[in-house]
Every structure is written in structure tokens, then in C-alpha cells.
Amino acid sequence: MASLCCIKLDTATDATCGSGGFLVKAMANMIHEAGGMETEKATNIKTQQLYGIEFDCEIFALACANMLIHKDGKTNLEQMDTRTETACDWIKSKNITKVMMNPPYENKYGCMTIVENVLDSVAPHTQCAFILPDKKLEKAGKAQVKRILKHHRLRKVIKLPEDLFFNVGVTTSIFIFEAGVGQEGKEFFACYMESDGLATVKNKGRHDVYGKWSDIEAHWVDIVLKQSGDDTCQWINPEEHLSYQVPVKPFEISEEDFKKTAMEYLMFQRGIDAKQFGEKLLDTVMYSSQVEAANESVTVTMKKEDKTDEN
């Protein structure tokens, strides 16, 4: 996404960095733009332009190892809790220009507290992107969301493919804020990237097996940058919604559905048990009728039941 892309002049942070995946990707993009690993700018990017925080000590160790494997950057990782004032002060000291985060979603881990703390700790106009459950802002505490929007502006919401986190049963969106600028009722742009072209590989997660992602990525970067160009694009009033609004499918009923419903209603009116009637009808068709097949047609001839007048 355009607002997520880090350029060589950015100072990027992930304040819940996990094993460091976002930072590694940001580093790769920035160094590529700078001309490669051997440039002086690449050294500066690794040592002064990438910052991460991770609370869990074991995952923090993985992040350090990951950054080392990708040629340093580990010196700017800290084991802290982003819910604390100490972490906020650390972020404030780093002159951050881009934020990319996938914070823990559960309320018990302080998801929205983390989001608010990060927004409050970066300079005005900093672009901050958070991957969150689709309805997270709408389900969070009203007072907290009101406070966030008073000081920060939700600019864009990009709904992600619904099978992205299929294994944990949650659908997500990227929420892009501009820090230090109040919402003031202004609309935000939203769109839905319904598919990323990736395929699930058994025991290996989702991968670009068919080589589709590059074109899909370019397509959506262009849409998010221009804020137009796709049927899913929306402009949403924050007073009404704080998420992408999936269009309601028009109600449709087939002729078969109509006949079925009408028949069930007639049987209900006459006190006929639909299940018993269906079982009896099936038995009659299968065992008390003549079935003939011709081409693609099947003809069922019911045998007329003999009735004897016992009187």
C-alpha cells in the first residue's frame, strides 16, 4: 500500500514488532531504493532508521536474530511494553516518520491502548498504519475512540482478503491514520482488496504460488494512492461507520424457492407433516412407479391406487 511503503529517507517503527517481519521488509525496500547494501546510505538505514519494540522476551530474541540474519539493525530493537510511558518516551525520541504495525488484537493485551500510545508519541502528520480486525474501532470503547479521533485523523481503510488470517478466524483491514490532525467529521477513503492471489500451501502458510502478487500489489497501490479506480471504493462518514462497508447483496428468490415455500405453507395450513409427506412421496416414486429415461429426460409414471368399496 502506498502509505505503508517506506522510502530511503524514512525512519520507520513497529512498536509490536514480533519477530521483525515488517522491519526486515521495510529495510529491504529502503536499501533497494538507496542503491544496494554496499552504499553508505544502506549503513545509515540499518543503524539509524529502523526501530522496533517487542514485549515478549523470547519473541524479542527472535526479532534480534532475524535482523542479524538480514545484516544488522538489531541495535535499535528494545524489549518494552508499548502500553507504558517508558515506551512512549522512547518512541518520541526517535523522530519516527512511518509506523507499520500488526498489534495483538485482544483487549486483554491492550490493543487500542497501544494504537493510541503510538499515535500520541509520533510527530504530527506521521502516517501510521495498523492491521486490526475489521470492526475494531467500532467495537472499542466509545470514549477512547472519540479521544483518538479528536487528535488523529483516520485517512484510509483497506479491507484485506478474508482468508488472510483464516487460521485464526478473523477478518482484518489496514487502518491508516495521520497523527496529530483531528478527524473533525471528515470522511475517509475505504476499499476492499478481495484477493491477493496467494494460495495456501499445507503446513507452510500462504504463498505466491501462481506469481500473481506483483501485479495485484501494483494495482492496489495505484488505487490507494489515487483513492479511486475500483468498484469497491467508498468515502465514509466517520460519524456513521469506522470500517469498510461490505455492500448488502440484493434479495433474490428463484422460482423453485418460491414454489417450495408455497408448497410448505399449503401443507402447514392443511396440517400435513412435510417430513413424513416427503418420505412417503420418495418411497412411492422409487418403489410404486414406472421410471423411464430418454435422452436427458426422466419420466415417472405413478400407478393408480386401487380402491375397493367395502360396503
Task: List beta partners, residue 159.
Answer: 173, 192
pLDDT digits (tens, 9 = 90+) for 60-78: 999 999 888 877 666 699 9
Q: Averaged over 220-237, what is the pLDDT?
A: 96
Which has more confidence, 53 or 200?
A: 53
Q: Can you give the pTM of this predicted structure?
A: 0.79
Domain ranges of the chain: 2-236, 255-302
pLDDT number for residue 287: 73
How far is CA 277 from each of CA 281, 286, 287, rounded to the nearest angstrom?
Answer: 6, 14, 15
Instruction: Return the closest-CA partner of residue 53 out of 8, 4, 91.
Output: 91
Task: List beta partners, residue 53.
Answer: 78
Instruction: Give the three-state DSSP class for 164.
Output: coil
pLDDT tops 50 at residue 99: yes
pLDDT number for residue 2: 39
**Phi and psi at residue 140, in whole multiples of 5°?**
-70, 170
pLDDT number for residue 201: 86
* DSSP 8-state class, residue 48: H
pLDDT tops 90 at residue 306: no
Q: What angle do CA 205, 209, 213 make, to 5 degrees?
A: 95
pLDDT digits (tens, 9 = 90+) for 183-210: 999 999 999 999 999 988 888 888 899 9
pLDDT number for residue 304: 61
pLDDT digits (tens, 9 = 90+) for 130-174: 999 999 999 999 999 999 999 999 999 999 999 887 666 799 999
279 pLDDT band, cuts 50/70/90, is: confident
Looking at domain 2-236, which CATH architecture does it have? 3-Layer(aba) Sandwich (3.40)
Residues 6+ apart with CB under 8 A from 168: none
Helices within 211-305 (DSSP H only): 213-226, 255-269, 274-287
